Copies of this chain bind each other. A is one copy, B any other.
Amino acid sequence: MNYSQLKLDNQICHRLYMASNSVVRAYRDALNQLDLTYPQYVVMMALWEENKMSIAGLLNKTKIDGGAMTQILKKMTDKQLLSVVIDKEDKRKRLVKLESHGLKLQQQAVDIPDQIRCRFQSINTQEADQLMHLLDKLNLAFENP
């Protein structure tokens, strides 16, 4: 029996797992200064792009887990970053809106992408595009199980 496919070194999955953890870890210092975790930062980015989204919209945009989202939004509400209100048109839905503190934070966050990008210098622009393209393909393939 050939077990070579069970070797960690042969697996894309393990590389993805390590890379994702590494990159999120790399954000930590910058995000600590904004008192944000990585998923909270992802939520902020989604809202900076489009303020006042439904939770379903946020879930779809960020791909964060629904159960986790509830907790994340609770913490962000406590930090006065945003507020969550019931949609009057459909009381099952909730609308998430940035508060002034959350809006202002964008100015402090604007440098973060550059701080991270410099950590990507080992790959050039073309490779980065290639990587994004391949990850898009993967994400699309794994989107609907």
Contacts and interface: CB of A to CB of B under 8 A. Distances in A.
Interface of A: 1, 3, 5-8, 10-27, 38, 42, 45-46, 48-49, 61-63, 106-107, 109-110, 112-114, 116, 119-123, 127-128, 130-132, 134-143, 145
Contacts of A143: 22
State the number of copies, please: 2
Contact of A12 (B62, B121, B122, B135): B135
A143 B122 CA distance: 12
A40 B135 CA distance: 25
Given A1-B110, A26-B142, A136 B11 contact: no
* Pairs of residues from A and B, 3 with the lowest C-beta to C-beta distance, nearest first: A20-B20, A22-B142, A122-B141
A8 B123 contact: no
Given A27-B13, A49-B7, A63-B18, A123 B128 contact: no
